[in-house]
Amino acid sequence: MAKFDGRPILISGAGRGLGEGIAKHLASEGAIVGVADVNGNTARDVTAAIAASGGKAFAYEADLGRRQAFFDVAEAFARDAGPLRAVINNASVLVYEPIEAVTEETLDRMLSAGLKSVFWGVQAFLAHRDESVGGNILNYSSPVAYRGRPNTGAYTTIKAGIAGLTKVLAGELGPRGIRVNAIAPGSVPTPATEGFVTPEQYEQRAKNIPLRRNGTPQDVAAAVAFLLSDEAEFINGAMLAIDGGIIAAG
């Protein structure tokens, strides 16, 4: 039997990058995946690829920084696939710039996609989850929450907030049988980072990572699958670094 045989798992921001890789991997492990993204075309491309590989997935186009939009997606997914077993709050907007360059528009957009969507994702999951079994909430933080990396003020603030919120929710929702954890992926080249990190910069990053390489979407997807699996049933409130040792080595 597949690891997630028939379990409905909703993923925000799954139209490309790490979210896409996670969606495809979980589907290959038997999950029914809800691929939610502000870009409906990329979401549909991901579900089509999953279907072509024999998996099952549904695509939803929505601005998940809006509470009602996230609730509508969760309701539709529960109708299509059954009560939710897990939600992965992966959506974010990535902008690197000096603190004096941060505009109100940029900050609002980043907070909406990267932080508000986590609150709405948790609430939507609670409203549409399968209450007959334990549940899983997995949030997406980052090594920048633990290290002062220049020009990442807005992004770091969001990811540090998610790290703190994960701990709160682990204590708050644990008594209800819901595990809440977070991942902190390190340097992983994806389409979302192309405009901010050059191939040369990724090459330099690899030289400073203890394992001497950048990560891959598959590295992240495998770790996510573990945290959501029954093998991790006593792990709650953890922050799993998937970074080759960046946080540990400083």
- Portion of the chain with pLDDT greater than 90, in percent: 88
Characterize 174-196 residue by residue with b for buried, 16 or more Cβ atoms within 10 angstroms of its Cβ, and e for exposed. eeeebbbbbbbbbbbbbebbeee
**From CA 82, how far away is CA 9, in angstroms rounded?**
10
The mean pLDDT of 189-199, rounded to a whole number, is 79
- Any idea which residues carry the catalytic annotation? 155
* CATH 1.10.287.470 is held by the domain 8-242: no
Domain borders along the chain are: 8-242
pLDDT of residue 150: 92
Instruction: Summarize the confidence of residues 93-100 as an average pLDDT.
Output: 94
pTM, two decimal places: 0.95
**Cα dihedral 214, 220, 221, 223 sign:** positive
| Confidence band, pLDDT 50/70/90 cuts, at residue 1 | low
What is the per-residue pLDDT across 144-191, written as a single tens digit (0 to 9) for each?
A: 999 888 999 999 999 999 999 999 999 999 999 999 999 999 988 887
